Chains A and B, each alone.
Chain A
């Protein structure tokens, strides 16, 4: 790398080799000076914390005993991971409940926001649509708002005598007599749906009580809690604007000749959309889904503000915060965080493989 200075103009090439070498040295020094602040900050506040997370996950540090003091912690090897993942008990139960809540959150939000964003972008991109700018602004505006503010607004909209219940009461007969407690209901939505058909934990048989990783099978299958579903609606609502703008930019990059050729060949609009547009958007979809996965697996702010982890809304990110910051179990907290990192990493790789393979067809 250092021996090529191909950028230098022809006139410079004739210069003496000695002057070239000193110029290169000068450029290298400037390069290090320019990059130094960024590298130092990233080393201290990104790379070092990552290594520290791995290290502390192997200790039993409580976060209170000063690190400079005598024996602030003991090395416990993989015991934190074992307690979270393998040994039955309250730690395992807490971790897998958080994992269940997080996975339901991801499964609910990522497809919903991706499909909605794509649909909206496809409509806004139609040539006949007037006031494109207005719609783009309307959809994008929630994305610029603080997650705390959005959470507070949603809490207020979804209170028992709030706007949402008022509207639902006006539209759905009999709703007002038995409104949904959006912000304080820990029952799973699948559990509630099955109960309508008379299927409950008691009627399905003994298997429902079987525990896998300290959580009963019935609880695994109950779906996200009602309150978690409210946060899922909130999250979808917030993100579709950004994702729509990303899709819209990609749609506008598809040359119009592609559509014209397909129209000449007699393809219908729906065929064009599903056979041409969607496949051409595959790289964008990869980006949007990756963003979605990374964001939803880490959901924290909304849980903190709306429910403080209550009513079946403790996610892994919230568990990390609670066990580290509130309960002073740094070892367990960092171990949970590392597991979350591995999960996100695996999902991104898996998704890359699936989307990548199809793109190569």
Chain B
């Protein structure tokens, strides 16, 4: 922000003017950064609908105009120049990139990603809330020790576990299988904490009343406690789903050897290979849009929970 020499008592106009200038500068800065954050996505979506030469020659054209789905190639099979389908700020939207990626197993990768994300999320909701409830409410010898064990695992950087986890999964015969992804990820320390904090924040009287009425702990947990935990479960579901959908390190280590098990991020990263800058950008941009779209929809529907969840994690620290 611009410098402000402030509070000169004798002039009333000065500070007000300065405040206004600073405010305008701050607003401009905000708008500039917002553009920097959003425009890459606008460019990506627009260019994912272009013929390959138009992506290279006119990447800045972002206004779609008919004719829709023009021919990208001449009759002799050669690519038409970019100017044939884009000029200035406008382009003719093409579906060539999207047609091409579904010729490259993207359908299967989309299903794999969705399957893993749903399974991991459901398992985490169950196991994290069970563990969080035990830590928050149930008295058993070793309760504190388990709590500190879980706290400790949060401090281990993922990279340190990379190689030994690979070795253990190899010994267990879980490499190149979904089991090797699902089992290690079906509980997570962050989720257990989230649930523990939540259960501690709700009063225990209802559970005690149910207990007096003779209900056992399982009934209490599934019938009374879980339904009350919907806000925390929603936040956890969103974080887990997003984390698994975007997961790269684990799927790279475990699933790399079997292309039919790849997820969208893994597939995108591995077909990129080492071809440097000479990529078929229409395929990669269309793939990026397809990978992002489901999460973007979830984000816009559940935006409040995303933001609340992140805020919550920050206030804890």
Contacts and interface: CB of A to CB of B under 8 A. Distances in A.
Interface of A: 1-2, 4-5, 7-9, 11-12, 24, 26-32, 34-35, 37-39, 41-42, 44-50, 52-53, 56, 63, 67, 116, 119-120, 123-124, 126, 128-129, 134-142, 144-149, 151-157, 159-163, 166-167, 183-184, 237, 240-242, 245-250, 253, 266, 268-271, 283-284, 286-288, 290, 294, 297-298, 300-301, 304-305, 308, 316-317, 320-321, 324-325, 330, 333-334, 337-338, 340-341, 344-345
Interface stretch (B70-78, B88-96, B100-108, B156-164): B156-164
B192 to A, nearest CB: 6
A248 B311 contact: yes
Nearest to A338: B160
A51 B244 CA distance: 26
B198 interface: no
Contacts of B287: 152
Contact of A298 (B23, B157, B218): B157
Contacts of B139: 1-2, 4-5, 24, 27-28, 31
B204 interface: yes
Nearest to B34: A138
A11 B211 CA distance: 12
Contacts of A135: 30, 34
Contacts of A27: 138-140, 217
B317 A290 contact: yes
B277 A184 contact: yes
B269 interface: yes
A147 B263 CA distance: 13
B242 interface: yes
B223 interface: no
B301 interface: no
Given A1-B139, A270-B4, A153 B44 contact: yes
B265 to A, nearest CB: 4
Nearest to B57: A161
Contacts of A35: 130-131, 134-135, 140, 146
A120 B285 contact: no
Given A46-B161, A153-B288, A325 B153 contact: no
Q: Which 6 A-B residue pairs are closest in the complex by CB-CB distance?
A: A287-B317, A268-B6, A246-B314, A249-B311, A31-B140, A31-B138
A65 B212 CA distance: 60
Contacts of B313: 246
B317 A286 contact: yes
Contacts of A156: 44, 47, 59, 279, 281, 284-285
Contact of A269 (B4, B34, B291, B316): B4
Interface in B258-317: 264-266, 268-269, 272, 274, 276-277, 279, 281, 284-285, 287-288, 291-292, 295-296, 299, 303, 306-307, 310-317
B305 to A, nearest CB: 12
Interface of B: 1, 4, 6-7, 15, 19, 22-23, 26-27, 29-30, 33-34, 36-38, 40-41, 43-44, 47, 56-57, 59-60, 127-128, 130-131, 133-135, 138-141, 143-144, 146, 149-150, 153, 155-168, 171, 183-184, 186-187, 189, 192, 204, 208, 212, 217-218, 221, 242, 245-246, 248-249, 252-253, 264-266, 268-269, 272, 274, 276-277, 279, 281, 284-285, 287-288, 291-292, 295-296, 299, 303, 306-307, 310-317
Given A49-B165, A120-B33, A324-B163, 17 more contacts: A12-B212, A24-B139, A31-B139, A34-B131, A35-B131, A35-B134, A37-B127, A37-B131, A49-B160, A50-B160, A50-B161, A116-B33, A123-B30, A148-B268, A183-B277, A270-B6, A297-B157
Contact of B37 (A138, A144, A154, A341): A138
Nearest to B165: A49
B97 to A, nearest CB: 12
6 contacts: A41-B187, A129-B30, A152-B287, A183-B277, A317-B159, A321-B162
Contacts of B160: 49-50, 53, 337-338, 340-341
B6 A269 contact: yes
A162 to B, nearest CB: 6
A222 B59 CA distance: 33
A233 B311 CA distance: 24
B30 A124 contact: yes
Contact of B189 (A42, A129, A287, A334): A42
B212 A9 contact: yes
B242 to A, nearest CB: 6
A341 B164 contact: no
A237 B36 contact: yes
Contacts of A128: 23
Nearest to A333: B163
B4 A249 contact: no
B150 A38 contact: yes
Contacts of A253: 315
A245 B138 contact: no
B131 A1 contact: no
A320 B166 contact: no
Given A138-B38, A146-B292, A152-B272, A53 B314 contact: no
A65 B22 CA distance: 66
Contacts of B311: 245-246, 248-249
Contact of B162 (A34, A148, A237, A337): A337
A7 B218 CA distance: 18
Contacts of B158: 298
Contacts of B130: 34-35, 37-38
